[in-house]
Amino acid sequence: MHKAMLAKKLRKYFVMGSQNCSLDPVETLKLAVEAGITAFQFREKGVGSLTGEKKLELGKKLREICLEHNVLFIINDDVDLVKPLEADGIHVGQEDVSVNDLRKLMPEKIIGLSVSNRFELEQSPIHLVDYVGAGPIFSTTTKSDAKAPVGIEWIKAIRNEYPSIPLVGIGGINTTNAGQVMSAGADGVAVISAITKAENIEKAVKNL
Ligand SMILES: Cc1ncc(COP(=O)(O)OP(=O)(O)O)c(N)n1
Ligand SMILES: Cc1ncsc1CCOP(=O)(O)O
Ligand SMILES: [Mg+2]
């Protein structure tokens, strides 16, 4: 996929696993896609998350929903799920499987990489990734091992150095502050709780 097209597809990027949902995750994703999310990341991770066969089964259902609505389907961390779920790509962080290995393993898939600070940016093979996830932008309680919030200045800094890389902000982003992230130069916002904890998912997605 061309950079410009990917950037467009990352505009409203919903990240979620069953552990984040109070409703059924399948129903949650259905509401979110119907309201207009453009990308989805299956992040089945942390306390209360599914593993093994149950994770795979849920992944299949979520994948199907994305396929029906032409929503990008990205797997978080789990390289072994990319093939069975026919995912569009994978998102990894600095402590996950290396981008160099991933690129060799799956030359055609979308690879997203988290970059939280200057050291990580300088250490990362940005030329091998399709998009960057920058954050946490604001403070978040959703990810227990999240790094310190970096603010929208971090979006501006990455955009300044990489004018055309598809870029999303993540961490503590909601309907009130999403505009700031976009104005700083992001192509999209990646959110968990702004959707999973919303009283009205349709309204939340639309307001983003
Ligand atoms: C779009 C996006 N950006 C950043 C992250 C965080 O990835 P990572 O640092 O590997 O942390 P985990 O999500 O694996 O806990 C992300 N998932 N998505
Ligand atoms: C996965 C992830 N990576 C950095 S912050 C974060 C959690 C985002 O969750 P929320 O949108 O609820 O702050
Ligand atoms: Mg990770």
Give yes or no for residue 15 CB within 6 A of ligand 1: yes
Q: How far is CA 66 from CA 57, 87, 148, 187, 202, in A?
A: 15, 10, 32, 20, 16
Q: What is the CATH number of the domain that holds 163?
A: 3.20.20.70
> pLDDT below 70 — which residues of the chain?
none
User: Which is catalytic among the residues 9, 18, 114, 116?
Assistant: 114
* Residues present in the chain in total: 208
Q: Which atom belonging to ligand 2 lies closest to the Cα atom of 43?
A: 1
Model pTM score: 0.98
Q: Which two tokens stand for residue 183?
A: 């104005």
What are 47-67's pLDDT values in tens digits? 999 999 999 999 999 999 999
CA of 69 to the centre of ligand 2 (A): 24
- The answer to whether 98 is annotated as binding is no
Q: Atom 12 of ligand 1 has which residue's CA nearest to it? A: 93
- Give the distance, in angstroms, between the CA of residue 27 and the centroid of all CA atoms in the same chain: 19
Nearest CA to 38 out of 16, 11, 64, 59 is that of: 11
Would residue 114 show up in a list of annotated catalytic residues for this protein?
A: yes
Domain interval for residue 141: 3-207
Q: Atom 1 of ligand 1 has which residue's CA nearest to it? A: 133
Return the ∠ at Cα 28 (arms to 22 and 32), rounded to 5°: 140
pLDDT at 73: 99
- The answer to whether 96 is annotated as binding is yes
> Structural domain tally of the chain?
1
pLDDT at 85: 98
Q: How many CB atoms lie within 10 A of CB 30?
A: 18
